[in-house]
Amino acid sequence: MHYYILPILFSIYIIATCNLCEDSMITCPDLKDQCDQGFVQSQCPYTCGICHQDPNQCTDTNLDCLKFDSMCKTDVKYQKQCPYTCGTCVPATPDSCFDHMIECPNYSVPCTDAVKIQCPKRCGVCTSGASNSTLAPPRPSPTPPCFDSGNECATYTLPCDVNQKIFCPRTCGVCGSTGVPMAQTTLLTTVKPTTTVVPSTTTKLPATTTKKLPSTTPKPPCKDSSPNCAGWAKNGFCTNTFYPPEKRKEYCAKTCRMC
């Protein structure tokens, strides 16, 4: 039993002492009642209260906010999890002067013009006695490809629940306002070959033989990025369809045999 507790405590310590306090899965708020499990604690440190963010800084609380930025327009929950990505940051008080990025304390003074916009407090460019409610400019909203990442999306019926919308946006019809991107069609243009008459010459060049060398690019190593894979695998992480394949490969490629 002690062999499982020590890795969990170590991962919690690493997360708690890290500058960034963010969840790794967009579904963490739905797993709040399971924070007594080691896997949930390691993936959802913010939701489980293992670490805390600076209330005077505007940051996202989830690493996957950019992947689901289209949900900002349809679900209030994502606006709360991703205020920076969704452009919904608000100052703590009407006259507060605050930085908009958690990395601001790492910048040196004097600041560049770009850093002054994101870090007015760090750079000392706040206007005294006046309201400084300038928000960080929202990140551009590129049109993401709309596709299902779940293995059982085709079996779901409408209307979808919250989790189904996350992993099956195409099936559930919750893609961005631009709609589902159509498959790109490649047009092949037939160009009529041109014939150029070159005058013949009597000079003959010796034939050369070039041997193609075999590729020496090594294959990437097959390894796990998390030290907890052995314990997670026993709890069904590698086989449970609740966890998307890309998450299994990202954290436990070797243990789950996905190399």
Q: Where residue 196 falls among pLDDT bands split at 50, 70, 90?
A: low
pLDDT at 142 over 50: no
pLDDT at 49 over 80: yes
Q: Where residue 145 falls among pLDDT bands split at 50, 70, 90?
A: low
Residue 90's CB is within 10 A of a number of other CB atoms, namely 11
Q: What pLDDT does residue 82 have?
A: 85
pLDDT, mean of residues 215-237: 80
Query: What is the tens place of the pLDDT at every residue in 155-181?
Result: 888 888 877 777 788 888 887 633 333
Q: Where residue 128 falls among pLDDT bands split at 50, 70, 90?
A: low
Query: How far is residue 237 from each of residues 89, 151, 251, measured CA to CA in Å?
Result: 35, 15, 10
pLDDT averaged over every residue in the chain? 71
Q: Both ends of the chain: CA-CA distance in Å?
A: 30
CB 84 within 8 A of CB 59: yes
Query: What is the tens place of the pLDDT at every residue in 61-71?
Result: 888 787 777 77
pLDDT at 101 over 60: yes
Domain definitions of the chain by residue range: 1-52, 54-141, 145-177+243-259
Q: What pLDDT does residue 213 have?
A: 63
* Phi, then psi, of 4 in degrees rounded to 5: -90, -30
Q: What pLDDT does residue 114 have?
A: 79
Cis peptide before 120 (omega within 30 of 0): no
How many residues are recorded in the chain?
Answer: 259
Of 46-50, 128-132, 144-148, 228-232, the poorest mean pLDDT is in 128-132
